[in-house]
Amino acid sequence: MNPLDTIRRQRAALADGAKKYEQPMVRFLRDLIAIPAESSQEGPVIQRIRQEMESVGFDEIRIDGMGNILGRIGSGKRVIMMDSHTDTVGVGDLKEWKWDPYQGKVEDGFVYGRGACDQRCGIASMVYGAKLIKDLAFAGDYTLWCVGSVQEEDCDGLAWIYILREDGIKPDCVLITEPTNLQVHRGQRGRMEIEVHIRGRSCHASAPERGDNPIYKMTTLLREVEQLNTRLRHDQFLGKGTITVTQIRSLSSSLCAVPGSCSIHLDRRLTTGDTKENAVAEVRALSGARDAEIEILSYDVPSYTGLVYPMEKYYPTWLVEEDHPLAQSAVETYRSLNGRAPVVDKWVFSTNGVGSMGVCGVPTVGFGPGNEVDAHAVTERVAIDHLVQAAQFYAAFPLVFVHTMEHVQSAKAGAR
- Domain limits of the chain? 3-188+317-415, 190-299
Q: Which residues are catalytic?
A: 87, 152
User: DSSP letters along 171-193, please?
Assistant: -SEEEE-S--TT-EEEEE-EEEE
Separation CA 369–CA 387 (nearest Å): 6
Q: Are 319 and 186 in contact (CB under 8 A)?
A: yes
Cα-Cα-Cα-Cα dihedral sign, residues 116, 117, 121, 123: negative
User: DSSP letters along 71-111, please?
Assistant: EEE---SEEEEEEEE--------GGG-SS-TTS--EETTEE
Question: Which helix (H) or strand (E) is 168 found in, with range?
Answer: none
pLDDT digits (tens, 9 = 90+) for 299-311: 999 999 999 999 9
Q: How does residue 414 score in pLDDT terms, banded at 50, 70 and 90?
A: low
Separation CA 284–CA 287 (nearest Å): 8
pLDDT mean over 253-269: 96
pLDDT at 204: 97
Separation CA 121–CA 25 (nearest Å): 9
pLDDT mean over 47-75: 98
pLDDT mean over 345-364: 97
pLDDT mean over 253-260: 95
Q: Are 259 and 198 in contact (CB under 8 A)?
A: no
Radius of gyration of the chain (CA): 24
pLDDT mean over 61-74: 98
Separation CA 125–CA 18 (nearest Å): 9
The answer, yes or no, to whether residue 415 has pLDDT greater than 70, is no
CA distances for 6 relative to 127, 144, 334, 395, 396, angstroms: 22, 19, 14, 12, 10
Q: How does residue 1 score in pLDDT terms, banded at 50, 70 and 90?
A: low
Confidence (pTM): 0.93
Among the four given CATH numbers 3.90.170.10, 3.40.50.1000, 3.30.300.30, 3.40.630.10, the one describing domain 3-188+317-415: 3.40.630.10
The answer, yes or no, to whether residue 416 has pLDDT greater than 80, is no
pLDDT digits (tens, 9 = 90+) for 211-246: 999 999 999 999 999 999 999 999 999 999 999 999
Fold of the 190-299 domain: Alpha-Beta Plaits (3.30.70)
Q: What is the mean pLDDT of the chain?
A: 96
